[in-house]
Amino acid sequence: MTEIFRREVGETEGRQRLDEFLFANITSLSKMYLRDLLKDGKCEVNGTTAFSGQRLRANDFVEIEIDPRAKTSMTPEAIPLDIIFEDDEILVVNKPAGMLVHPTFANCSGTLLNALAYYFNYQIKNGEAPKRAIRAGLVHRLDKQTSGIVLIAKTPRAHRILCGHFERRLVSKKYTALVDGVVKDDAGRISAPIGRFAETKFWDVKEDGKNAETEFRVFKRGDDSTLLELTPITGRTNQLRIHCKHFGHPIIGDSWYGGRVFSRLCLHASRLEFWHPSGNRRIEIESGAPQEFASFFADSEESQ
Mind listing the domains of the chain with CATH numbers? Answer: 3-66 (3.10.290.10), 83-168 (3.30.2350.10), 172-270+293-302 (3.30.2350.10)
Q: Which ranges of the chain have pLDDT less than 50?
A: 302-304
Nearest to 284 by CA among 294, 293, 274, 276: 274
Task: Give 23-67 as a DSSP string.
Answer: HHH-TTS-HHHHHHHHHTT-EEETTEE--TTPBP-TT-EEEEEE-
| Residue 67, pLDDT score | 81
pLDDT tens-digit series, residues 263-282 = 999 999 999 999 999 988 99
| Residue 124, pLDDT score | 64
What is the distance, to the nearest Å, from the Cα of residue 32 to the centroid of all Cα atoms in its chain?
18
Cross-strand partners of 151: 92
Catalytic residue numbers? 143
CA atoms within 13 A on the CB side of 263: 8
| Residue 304, pLDDT score | 47
How distant, in Å, are the alpha carbons of 25, 49, 95, 235 from that of 155?
12, 27, 21, 25
H-assigned helices in the chain = 18-25, 31-39, 112-121, 156-167, 239-246, 291-294, 298-302
Beta-carbon neighbour count of residue 213 at 10 Å? Answer: 16
**pTM reported for the whole predicted model:** 0.76
pLDDT tens-digit series, residues 126-162 = 656 565 667 778 889 899 999 999 999 998 889 889 9
